[in-house]
Structure 1
Amino acid sequence: MSRDSDVLVVGGAGVDTIVYVPELPLPYADSYMIRSGIETRAGQTGDFVALGLSALGLRTHHLDMLGDDPEGELVRALHRDRGVGLTVIPQPAGTKRAVNLVGPDGRRLSLYDASRSHSEDRFPEPVLRALADGSRHVHVAITHPAAHALPVLRDTGVTLSTDLHDWDGENAYHEPFARAADVVFVSTARLTDPERTMRHLVERGRARIVVATAGAEGAYLLSDDEVTHVPAVAPPAPVVDSNGAGDAFAAGFLFGLLSGEPPRRCALYGAVAGAHACTVPATRTAAAGREELLTRAAEAESALR
């Protein structure tokens, strides 16, 4: 069957306002002078995954709700400029937005504007089904209303992935995503026992692969009932920002998966893409390209022999 795209990304479109602060947590003060400036740019989790996949040569399409507002136009322009297809469902509440406080070490604190969605928001089923039927794979962001799209997506038979981000292993909001996806990404940031959580994800859902990312400590891969450690890859330049590293990891991993690579090499691709993302300031969106990723992955494999 012919497919129109390799990956459909559902949800996660929005705009971030980046503020570089002297430290995190930020001590209380009446005011701070931000010498580097305060900049608003398009790009949240779904945008970063879509752009990362496209930069690696995969035919990528993005579906989400956007407002008829300046933030929505920033998102539309980003996709036009990068050649990523975008299907927009009108969002009367406005485009999702957040403020990211970024510390000197690249860590970030995100403040999400929860007012820009409604509980009744839904993707039209005919649109969702048609886009999924035309894709080899669907990556679902854990943003509203993507959870309501999961039954339709599963019904199409297409494989699904999701990123639970800094899930604590208990929050019920993440459960529908965790149970529906064939490939699950999660950060170890709030997990007391990452391997136990990873195995529970397999036992309670459909996941055949679980990846727990651990920042500078690398990642843990659960595949074929075996957990292995994937070392971190040295960034190609100084680390300036961790924003988008997890999204880049997911894009690199999915690139490998859709290229027919074994899970271990997919995780290496993810580590390379994630390391690259850490060298890109939060005010920019610049994903690793296919040639760079393959070259750095080959170098990393040679170093481990």
Structure 2
Amino acid sequence: MTAKRTDVLALGNAIVDVFASAEEDFLIAHELTKGAMMLIDEDRAETLYAAMGPSKIVSGGSAANTIAGLASFGGKGAFIGKVKQDELGKLYKHDLTSLGVAFDTGFASEGPATARSFIIVTPDGERTMNTYLGACQGLTVADVDKAAVQDAEIVYLEGYLWDPPAAKEAFRKASEFAHAAGGRVAITLSDSFCVDRYRDEFLGLIRNRLVDIVFANEAELKSLYQTADFDTALAALRAENIVAAVTRSEKDALAVTPDGIIAEPVFPVERIVDTTGAGDLFAAGFLYGLTSGREVRDSLRLGALAAGEIISHVGARPDISLKTLAGNEGLL
């Protein structure tokens, strides 16, 4: 088989993140659910932005953060996502391509503005996200470049993008292209509320083998199998007979494989500043490990390292080279 030229190609929401710190009173005053991701309309977006304090604006989106992390490890990444040809859309494309990530999806010339997510970070480091999806909902099958998908070792799908029907078809088409070329397909479940909406569909993707690798946190896994008991949910996942990576915040991270379950502790950090992107960057490390031929346990360690770096500062993109950091820790 010809070697793939891309390690991971991701399909996801192309979103500009707007970060601001606030006390919990702000969440109460604006009726925000702490720790959750809520979808909002453009009017609500403008209201929240006006009420927020000083902010930091960076390119984001869950799957794009993962690809940015992969690039920081030295991996070859590509991204498919939709932005409008407006100021934020051009900023977004520049930010991603400057990292060495291939991002060739065409701009939307009309319709809603480029998506943005307003992320409120409370003093405990927890993040509450309020997302205006805008242009990123316009992703369709036409945006799925067959050659690019078939050039990737792993295609990574973002569960958050499962809402628009056209995006679902894009996901299915990408899975079809990837498997036809001998590639693998991964999905991140993204959020327990997302799982609540699409539980049967996500289980269908797993059981029909449209995906080969699953990323989930503890809450998402419990939601997927409708149980309050983690061990019960883990056993149900193990019975699916696929590869999965499960994060448990400060506890540990698990790799579930047909051969068994492997656990690795979290990477120690001095202080948790902002948990935004922790799961995204864990996926970056794990995927980099898989695509660079490392054992599952080492892939878990790389995931934990990347998640530890990201929660030590504000923002969901690495502040330092993950390749250098991993090398210093003896992981590369």
Q: TM-score over 0.5 for the alignment?
A: yes
Please show how residues 34-49 of structure 1 align to structure 2 within 5 Å. Answer: 37-49=54-66
CA offset at residue 54 of structure 1?
0.7
1:265, 1:117 → 2: CA distance? 34
Question: Contact (CA 8 Å) 2:310, 2:317: kept in 1 or not?
Answer: no
**Aligned residue pairs, count:** 293
Unaligned runs of 5+ in 2: 31-47, 223-227
- In the TM superposition, 1:224-263 aligns within 5 A as 224-235=258-269, 237-263=270-296
Aligned residue for 2:146, secondary structure, equals: helix
CA distance in 1, matches of 2:167, 2:250: 30
CA distance in 2, matches of 1:121, 1:166: 20
The within-5 A match list for 1:67-146 is 67-91=84-108, 92-116=111-135, 121-124=139-142, 127-142=144-159, 143=161, 144=164, 145-146=166-167
Is 1:185 equivalent to 2:215 in the alignment?
Answer: yes
CA RMSD of aligned residues (A): 2.9
- Choose between structure 1 and 2: higher helix proportion: 2
- Counterpart of 2:176 (choices 116, 130, 155) is 155
Whether the aligned pair in 2 keeps the contact of 1:50 and 1:61 (CA below 8 Å) is yes
Aligned pair 1:217/2:251, yes or no? yes
8 A Cα contact 1:18 1:282, kept in partner: yes
Q: Secondary structure at the match of 2:191?
A: coil
Contact 1:150 1:177 in 2 (8 A): no
Provide Cα deviations, 1:171-193, integer angstroms capped at 9, x if missing partner. 32661555532111111135223
The structure-2 alpha-carbon separation of the partners of 1:297 and 1:247, relative to structure 1 and needing over 3 Å to count, comes to: farther
Amino acid paired to 1:242: T
Quote the sequence identity (%).
Answer: 22
Who is 2:80 aligned against?
Answer: 63
Q: Is the 8 A contact 1:268 1:297 kept in 2?
A: no
Change (3 A) 1:257 1:285: closer
After the TM superposition, which of the residue ranges 180-189 and 225-234 deviates more from structure 2?
A: 225-234
What letter matches 2:93 in structure 1? R
Task: Provide TM-score, normalisation by structure 1.
Answer: 0.84
Partner SS state of residue 241, structure 1: coil
**Matches of 2:121 and 2:206, distance apart in 1:** 29
- Closer, same or farther: CA 258–271 of 1 in aligned 2, 3 Å: same
Kept after mapping to 1: 8 A contact 2:89/2:114: yes
Q: Please state how far the C-alpha of 1:161 moved relative to its aligned partner.
A: 1.1
TM-score (norm 2): 0.78
168-177 vs 5-14, which moves further: 168-177
Once residues 252 and 117 of structure 1 are traced to their aligned partners in structure 2, the CA distance between those partners, rounded to angstroms, is: 25
